A and B are shown apart, each in its own frame.
Chain A
Amino acid sequence: MIEAVVFDFDGLILDTEMPSFVSWAEVFKLYDCELTEDDHALTIGAQFERIDILKQRARRPLPPDDELRAIKKQRHDELLADMEILPGVIAWLDDVGRRGLPVAIASSSPSSWVTELLDRFELAPRFAHVACCDGDRPPKPAPDCYIAACDALAVAPQHALAVEDSANGVAAAKAAGMWCVAVPNALTRRLDLSAADVQLESLAHASLDDVIAQLPR
């Protein structure tokens, strides 16, 4: 019996990972090297320093970190401004409400990042709790943020469904003991998400009811 739903954030609700990839890839190009989608995909859902990869690969002298981050940030901000909520997300949130299920977010990102974007897209009232990896909480694939989200909703992980787009996220949800549906995006499509209980092409391709019906009772 599913009693709560916990959504990942980056790459699932908003495609924040593509602006992140594109802006870093452009910085790599400035220094005559390349960040591939594969490199990037491996870092998704975990906290990982792209700048360290850049330092290994750059074929031209690099300016100080601050300057590199500023170049990346400017482009990143432009790309973020053009983001849209991913297809199917609103319908899923509506369905969750219709079933009377509480909803939270579990994310490896800092809570300031998640709450600012939720506010900007007027999604904040939809979520009863946002469990991020601030402070000492380890990022996914550690299960901690999922366990914190389930605790906040007063639901045992075995009765909760995680919605994820990345391998690290699926691993975190399964390690927490939750059910998990994997919905890869353009960047995570090449990852192995088979540890999830259900895999969907897009949230727009199946409803919450369809997914719950596929889980063992």
Chain B
Amino acid sequence: MIRAVVFDFDGLILETEGPWMRAWMHVFEHFGVEVDELELIAGVGTHFDAYEVLVARATTPLPSEREVRDMWRARGGELSAHLPVLPGVEQWLADAAGAGLPIAIASSSQETSVAPHLERHNLRGYFSHLACWVEGVAPKPAPDLYLIACAALGVSPADALAIEDSANGVAAAKAAGMWCVAVPNQLTRQLDLSAADVQLDSLAHATLADVIATIRERA
């Protein structure tokens, strides 16, 4: 029985991963270092560090790590500041709220890069809790963020549905003992998400009720 829904954020509610990746492409280009998009995609959903790749490949001296990261952060912030909500998200949130299910976020990003986007799109009110990464919490694929979200909603992970777009996220949800629906985006389509209980092409292609019905048959 599903009693709560926990959404991943990056790549699921907004496609922020593309802009942050393109921001690294900018930085690499700025320093004349070649990088393939696929290498950056492989790190999606975890604390992959493109900076290390940049350092390993740079043939000219780089400025300080701090300066490089600031350059990336500034560009990523600009490129992700105006993103639209992904198709189907608002309907899923409205359906979950309409069914009386509490909703949370479980994200490996910091709250400061999640909450402003939700507020800008008037979605913040749907969420009872934002389980975002803070120093000392293991990021996905560790289950910790999902366990925190379920605890905050007062439900057992076995009664909660996680909605994820990445392989690391699916692994985190399953390790937490939750049900999981995987909805790959442009970047994560090439990843293996078969550990999820249900896979959808887009949240616009099925309703929350459809997915819950599918899960009920399996339970």
* A interface residue numbers (CB < 8 A to B): 1, 3-4, 93-94, 96-104, 125-129, 152-155
Q: Is the CB of B18 within 8 A of A100?
A: yes
Give min CB distance, A147 to chain B, whole Å: 16
The one of A3, A125, A152, A154 in contact with B84, judged by C-beta atoms closer than 8 angstroms, is A125
The one of B80, B84, B186 in contact with A126, judged by C-beta atoms closer than 8 angstroms, is B84
Contact flags B62-105 to A (C-beta < 8 A → 1, else 0): 00000000000000001111111111000000000000000000
Q: Is the CB of A1 within 8 A of B25?
A: yes
Question: Can you give 14 A-B contacts (C-beta < 8 A)?
Answer: A1-B25, A93-B84, A97-B87, A98-B87, A99-B15, A100-B19, A100-B186, A101-B83, A102-B79, A102-B82, A104-B82, A128-B84, A154-B79, A155-B79
| B204 interface residue (CB < 8 Å to A) | yes
Q: CB-CB < 8 A to A125: which residues of B? A: 84-85, 121
Known: A1-B25, A98-B15. A154 touches B81 (CB 8 A): yes
Q: Which of B82, B87, B121, B186 has the most CB of A within 10 A?
A: B82
Q: Cα distance A152–B81 when bound, in Å?
A: 10
Known: A1-B25, A3-B79, A155-B79. A101 touches B18 (CB 8 A): yes
Q: CB-CB < 8 A to B80: which residues of A? A: 100
Q: CB-CB < 8 A to B22: which residues of A? A: 1, 3, 100
Q: Cα distance A1–B86 when bound, in Å?
A: 21
- Other A-B contacts than A99-B186, A100-B18, A154-B82, 18 sampled, CB-CB below 8 A, are A1-B22, A4-B82, A93-B84, A96-B84, A97-B14, A98-B202, A100-B14, A101-B15, A102-B82, A102-B84, A104-B82, A125-B84, A125-B85, A125-B121, A126-B84, A128-B82, A128-B83, A153-B82
Q: Is the CB of B83 within 8 A of A102?
A: yes
Q: Which of B14, B25, B84, B87 has the most CB of A within 10 A?
A: B84
Q: CB-CB < 8 A to B204: which residues of A? A: 94
Q: CB-CB < 8 A to B86: which residues of A? A: 97-98
